[in-house]
Amino acid sequence: MTRFTPTAVALAAALTMTTAASRPRPVPQSDLLDRAVAAWTKVKTVRASFEQTITNPLTGRTLTATGEYQQSRPGKLAVTFADPANDRIVAGGKFVWLYLPSSAPDQVIKTVQGANGTGTVDISAQFLTAPRSRYTVNAVGTLVVSGRPTHGYNLIPKADGGAPFTAASVWIDDA
């Protein structure tokens, strides 16, 4: 099986942190990331769309994939790809199942989940757990994601971070 090294990952996620008693008020962009990090510690489930670009360093071939992931912390994850269509990754707490008919037709790969296997399946946590100590963080402006106003950040892993990507974009709901 060919191993690809991701060169860019883009994650579009909307984290809503509003109270029922008040209308959302604008928050300075510098504070939004810190608020999202604080809110993330309380999150048990998440659903987000994603776009990732992977470049094979040996061939220079680039592949862009899109889809949606749903996560229940800790340890459960479902990734459904829109492109390539029908590709799926499912983690149930003990095992990770890979069904990637776009690259391995009629084959399902089962691997152990955890430190001796695939490692963590908490995708969002790698961006929202101590991001300022793990990444160089740059604000990139605003964008409407799924009809919601968001602010974006580029996260560039610091040299000692061991991240499996070279850059990520995270969009955080203004609310």
Q: Express each pLDDT in 36-49 by its tens digit.
A: 899 888 989 989 88
- Looking at this protein, which amino acid is placed at residue 140? V
Long-range contacts of 17-26 (CB under 8 A, 24+ apart): 17/173, 17/175, 18/175, 24/174, 24/175, 26/174
Check whether residue 43 and residue 2 sit in a common domain: yes
Decide the pairing of beta strands 168-173 and 5-12. parallel
Check whether residue 106 and residue 143 sit in a common domain: no
Check whether residue 8 and residue 89 sit in a common domain: no
Q: What is the mean pLDDT of residues 75-98?
A: 90
pTM comes to 0.64
Check whether residue 128 and residue 103 sit in a common domain: no
Check whether residue 62 and residue 126 sit in a common domain: yes
Check whether residue 49 and residue 10 sit in a common domain: yes
Domain count, the chain: 2
Among 99, 121, 143, residue at a domain's last position: 121
Q: Which domain holds residue 89?
A: 74-121
Check whether residue 128 and residue 156 sit in a common domain: yes
Per-residue pLDDT reduced to its tens digit, 100-156: 888 888 889 888 876 554 556 777 777 888 898 889 999 998 999 889 999 999 999
Check whether residue 45 and residue 117 sit in a common domain: no
